[in-house]
Amino acid sequence: MGALSVAISVFFVLRLVRVDAGSGKMKEIATYIKEGSDAFLKEEAKIMVVATAFLAALIFFAVGWQNAVSFLAGSLSSALAGYVGLEVSLRANVRTATMALKGGIKPAFSTAYQGGKVMGFFVVGIGLLGIGALYAAFQDPLDMVGYMFGASLMSLLLRVGGGIYTKGADIGSDLVGKVEAGIPEDDPRNPGVIADNVGDNVGDCVGMGADLFETYAVTLITAMLLGYLVKGGTAFEAIPLYVAGGSVIAMLVGSFFVVPSGSRVMNAFYKGLTASALLALVIDYFLVGHFAGLYFAILIGTLVLMAMYAFAEYFTSYEFRPVRRVAERSQTGAALNIITGMANGLKSTVFPVIAVATAVLAVFILNGGLTSSIGNGVYAIAISAVAMMSLVGMVISIDTFGPITDNAGGIAEMAGLPSSVRENVTDVLDSVGNTTKATTKAYAIASAALASLSLFAGFELELPKSMLSQLLVYNPLVLVGMFIGGVVPFAFTALLMDGVGVAAFGIVNEIRRQFKIKGIAEGEVKPDYAACVDITTRVALRELALPALIAAGTPVVVGFVLGPLGLSGYMFGAIVTGFPLAIWMTTGGGAWDNAKKYVESGVYGGKNSEAHKAAVIGDTVGDATKDTAGPAVNPFIKVMVTVSVLFAPIIVLVHLL
């Protein structure tokens, strides 16, 4: 199934590259973007090679060679997923722009979606192949914990680095270009324009690709691990792979249902997703229908997936009240836009958390009841998460669509295509992109919560029995661990927001400096794009270290000081605060973005009105929350939990308190 999925992916690549890549000017711009991306990724790769080599050696000596191999495989696959995402997107961008010019909305849509499909099937394929190969080689899920750690750490690095890069460049360029100099977004006179477009690629495409790959891999391996630890039968270890494999077929069929018709582009995606989900449920019935409890878990996982889409669309699409209220308040200036948007984001956390909590409760009740022991229930939770993640290919296709159309719009602007291309085609598609981005992130973090919960149980199962009965919420070590764990996501998101601030501030000063040079603002002298690319590259890589260290290092420190009990509390505290924090930041940000788009659609004075200026400020704040800080929480939590599971055996032996 993994091979099939990769094959499908290759097929779509071949179809994609046959599409016309456009004029010389467009190709030139695409080349600039590619060069900038490559430069950044090369620098990033250097750091990663060092970090990965160091950690692989550490794992080799502390845990064993199997996990060291798994770790390297996981890191590599995650990086590959990100890199392919980038390459596909770079090719799809320019072709989508060309199609938007030549054929209008329908061919542009199908080209962009083509790109998304390549990515979706590739991520699923590489995941299934890697996990399948390791399982065939080691026959023991405990040896595959390293794969999870590698995948999530790589994804974290790509998310954080790319996230700071993309939003630093984006915000910096907009603040001087759009707001101060009054030139349009993506105008070639803006010295930050290439950095901005590079950012879209290294942030949205690479980051999201690695992130969803990691979530997919962690979810699958966690379920296999629990199949081994809890159920103790190879049949149960294999079920996650069957379910994931079945969904490849389901998604292949489902993807034919994605046909835009009528005015709501979003509906096309819903049709495809629903078709895939229903077909997957049918296939799963034949695979695991004889375990009624597990089948219900799959059903519940699928329902959570749908619920996340529905709620995220409600809170981020301007067809509904929350975004409209943010837009309405913008009439009184930026302050009430921000206050209302913050309230909106905070409010949006309630439904996902309640949905996940209810799902957990229901799965437990249907799988052995609400006993305190770690047993059938947690395995079923893991299977729920697998059901949810097995459709990730579809989710990725829908999601990648967003940055591709966004970038296509950028290329259209920079290449001087007629403004109708942007207004009638790419902007329309892009506003859908804002919603799909938010839905994907809600989906990713919700499934991450389920997967982390199960993985957490995997950690507990590595502890001696006598310790398990001490994992009481009122145990001082658990208490203290939980407090500390609870605050860590705050610290982590703070560092990311701060990184964006630093990068953007640097870009602003650089662009202001260049605009003082005669001719640049007038478009007569070519700006020094590379200077801006350098700044964001430097800042992004510098600001990468501390968040990564917190993610991978603190669990080890907490484990050695507070022991396994403290570490358990720590992990749980981080999940409890990280989940709503991530939802708040991503959904809130999506709402700010679309509130601006709503004003641009002509209400409250439309573009360039006071309301619009206020909405732009909210949108900018949302950029940092939704594209940098919020989505990084997902790999962040996963790194913390996987590193804990990996080092659990040593921590059990050696700890201070």
Name residues contacting a copy of itself, limited to 372-411 (CB under 8 A): 372, 374, 377-378
Residue 39: other Cβ atoms inside 10 A: 15
* 64 interacts with a copy of itself by CB under 8 A: no
Give the interface segment with a copy of itself, choosing from 311-319, 383-391, 418-426, 565-573 (CB under 8 A). 565-573
* CA–CA distance, 285 with 295 (Å, rounded to integer): 7
Cβ closest to a copy of itself, residue 210 vs residue 230: 230
Answer whether 302's CB lies under 8 Å from 277's CB.
Answer: yes
* 579 interacts with a copy of itself by CB under 8 A: yes
Residue 657: other Cβ atoms inside 10 A: 11
Q: Among 17, 49, 354, 654, which residue interacts with a copy of itself (rule: CB under 8 A)?
A: 354
Q: Is 358 exposed, middle or buried (0-12, 13-18, 19+ CB in 10 A)?
A: middle
What single DSSP character describes residue 372? S
For the segment 462-491, give every residue that binds a copy of itself (CB under 8 A).
468-480, 482-484, 486-487, 490-491
* 532 interacts with a copy of itself by CB under 8 A: no
* CA–CA distance, 210 with 228 (Å, rounded to integer): 27
Residue 333 CB, shortest distance to a copy of itself, in Å, is: 6
Q: Among 62, 235, 253, 335, which residue interacts with a copy of itself (rule: CB under 8 A)?
A: 335
Cβ closest to a copy of itself, residue 61 vs residue 490: 490
Alpha-carbon separation of residue 647 from 53, 140, 182, 408 (angstroms): 17, 17, 54, 45
Residue 507 CB, shortest distance to a copy of itself, in Å, is: 10
For the chain, what's the residue count? 657
* CA–CA distance, 587 with 194 (Å, rounded to integer): 27
Cβ closest to a copy of itself, residue 333 vs residue 553: 333
Cβ closest to a copy of itself, residue 21 vs residue 468: 468
Instruction: Name residue 201's amino acid.
Output: N
* 126 interacts with a copy of itself by CB under 8 A: no
Residue 491 CB, shortest distance to a copy of itself, in Å, is: 5
Determine the 3-state secondary structure of 520 from DSSP. coil
Interaction pattern, residues 133-172, with a copy of itself; x per rule: CB under 8 A: --------------------------------------x-
Alpha carbon 526 to chain centroid, angstroms: 35
* CA–CA distance, 410 with 418 (Å, rounded to integer): 12
Q: Among 568, 587, 642, 644, which residue interacts with a copy of itself (rule: CB under 8 A)?
A: 568
Long-range Cβ contacts of 181-187 (<8 Å, 24+ apart): 181/515, 181/521, 183/521, 184/413, 185/410, 185/413, 186/409, 186/410, 186/413, 186/414, 187/413, 187/414
Q: Among 493, 514, 586, 642, which residue interacts with a copy of itself (rule: CB under 8 A)?
A: 493
* CA–CA distance, 503 with 534 (Å, rounded to integer): 11
Residue 338 CB, shortest distance to a copy of itself, in Å, is: 5
Residue 28 CB, shortest distance to a copy of itself, in Å, is: 31
* 525 interacts with a copy of itself by CB under 8 A: no
* 557 interacts with a copy of itself by CB under 8 A: no
Rg (CA), the chain: 23
* 299 interacts with a copy of itself by CB under 8 A: no
* CA–CA distance, 199 with 197 (Å, rounded to integer): 5
Q: Among 64, 103, 132, 333, which residue interacts with a copy of itself (rule: CB under 8 A)?
A: 333
Alpha carbon 576 to chain centroid, angstroms: 19
Tokens at 194, concatenated: 């290439």
What single DSSP character describes residue 184? P
* 497 interacts with a copy of itself by CB under 8 A: yes
Residue 175 CB, shortest distance to a copy of itself, in Å, is: 5
Residue 504 CB, shortest distance to a copy of itself, in Å, is: 6
Interaction pattern, residues 356-375, with a copy of itself; x per rule: CB under 8 A: xx--xx--x-----xxx-x-
For the segment 503-522, give every residue that binds a copy of itself (CB under 8 A).
504-505, 508
For the segment 436-455, give every residue that binds a copy of itself (CB under 8 A).
449, 453
For the segment 616-645, give every residue that binds a copy of itself (CB under 8 A).
616-617, 620-621, 624-625
* 47 interacts with a copy of itself by CB under 8 A: no
Instruction: Name residue 431's amino acid.
Output: S
Instruction: Name residue 20's amino acid.
Output: D
Give the interface segment with a copy of itself, choosing from 94-102, 285-293, 529-537, 573-581 (CB under 8 A). 573-581
